[in-house]
A = this chain, B = another copy of it.
Amino acid sequence: MSDTVRPREEVSIADVAERAGVSVATVSRVLNGHTNVREATREKVRQAVAASGYRINELARNLRTAESRLLLTMVPDFGNPFYAAIVRGIDSVARQNGYFMLLCDTGADPLRERSYFDLLRGRRADGAICLDPAAVQKALAEEASTLPWVACCEFDPSAGVPYVGIDNHLAAGDVVRYLTAKGHRKIALINSGQGYLYGQQRLAGFRDALADAGIEPHPAWLVELDSLDYDAGERAAAQLAALGEARPTAAFAVSDTLAIGVMNGFRGAGYAVPDDVAVVGFDDIAVAAHVDPPLTTVSQPMQLLGETAAGLLLKRLRDPRAEVPGVLLPHRLIQRRSA
């Protein structure tokens, strides 16, 4: 047992003031680095702080200053590695600006999302970045329109909420053009349901590009899943493989996890990738380069997406009535061996 610094019960600023023989105002000034305190006094206070093991109660400070310097990031499922780099981007600019970024897993559940928004309403966080599906954002957008938040990746352009994302319509078109340039005309789309805006946009981009190439897609080549699981992709591929003659020669999955499942599914059905079927994914998550064959995929500028989102939010926080634009960032098709 040492008798050095050990916090007793709940030391307050008044205790420190008493100990240092000054007023609480002076202690507060020292704590906040105000310059108008004599060096000698400043030192006395420092001593008292150290000796008492005092820690400022930020709850009290926040109540007074009416800000928490906490930012929330809401993701539908942080088990999805896609979000990792985005969140890192958010985190880094938040930290650079003196904010903490805390992550919330909403499970894409509107109720849970709402409960996190309540942290904003209750002034316990200063702002939020929401990556939830557009559909669940929509449920809140109206009542939450006065709250300081921005949308990332998923957004409703008409909601009046600042957002950042990519041009999914264009990206899907790029994939189709890449595939048709390689001679494919029988191209399947493995999509993940319409709750996500990106699903709708990529479907549209897929369709439009196909139409531009004068290709009429077989209805069975449009598969809508309600999952991003490997298994779901695998089942979709099995289903596609069972088409026999009408089997597609290329498959575009809207996520890498799905694409990896698709590759497995085709392999299981006796088809080789890319020789029998080409497979393209989306996102370029870490494992994409390390499956066999390495996955051709669309890469999003994830870090930048996050940084931009955080930037928009901070701007909105600084000036609540500033015009904050929606921004679209460029994607890139990464060619590997699967297509």
Q: Which of A21-69 contact B (CB under 8 A)?
A: 55-63, 68
Find residues 87-141 in chain A having any chain B CB closer than 8 Å to their own CB: 87-88, 91, 95, 100, 102-105, 112, 115-116, 119, 121-124
Q: How far is the CB of A142 from chain B (nearest CB, A)?
A: 10
| Structural contact, B68 and A78, CB atoms closer than 8 A | no
Question: In the complex, A156 Cα to B155 Cα: how many Å?
Answer: 44
Closest B-chain residue to A229, C-beta based?
B286
Inter-chain CA distance A68–B7, complex, in Å, is 20
Query: A292 near B: Cβ within 8 Å?
Result: yes
**B-contacting residues, A270-299, CB 8 Å:** 286-287, 289-292
Central interface residue in A68, A122, A257, A264, by most chain B CB within 10 Å: A122
- On chain B, the residues within 8 Å of A234 by CB distance are 290
Q: Is the CB of B79 within 8 A of A123?
A: no
Q: Which residues of B contact A100 (CB under 8 A)?
A: 104, 115-116, 119
A122 cross-chain contacts in B, Cβ below 8 A? 55-59, 61
Residues of B within 8 A of A292 (CB): 264, 267, 291-292
Contacts of A121 in B (CB 8 A): 55
The complex places the Cα of A88 from the Cα of B104 at a distance, in Å, of 11
Flag whether A260 is at the interface (Cβ < 8 A): yes
A330 within 8 A of partner (CB): no
**Does A158 make an interface contact (CB < 8 A)?**
no
A325 in contact (CB, < 8 A): no
Pairs across A and B, CB under 8 Å, 21 listed = A56-B122, A57-B123, A58-B119, A59-B59, A59-B62, A59-B68, A59-B122, A59-B123, A59-B124, A68-B124, A70-B124, A78-B103, A79-B84, A81-B81, A88-B105, A100-B115, A103-B103, A229-B286, A230-B290, A264-B290, A287-B287
A59-B123, A79-B84 given; 7 more Cβ-contact pairs under 8 Å: A57-B122, A59-B68, A62-B124, A100-B116, A102-B104, A260-B290, A287-B287
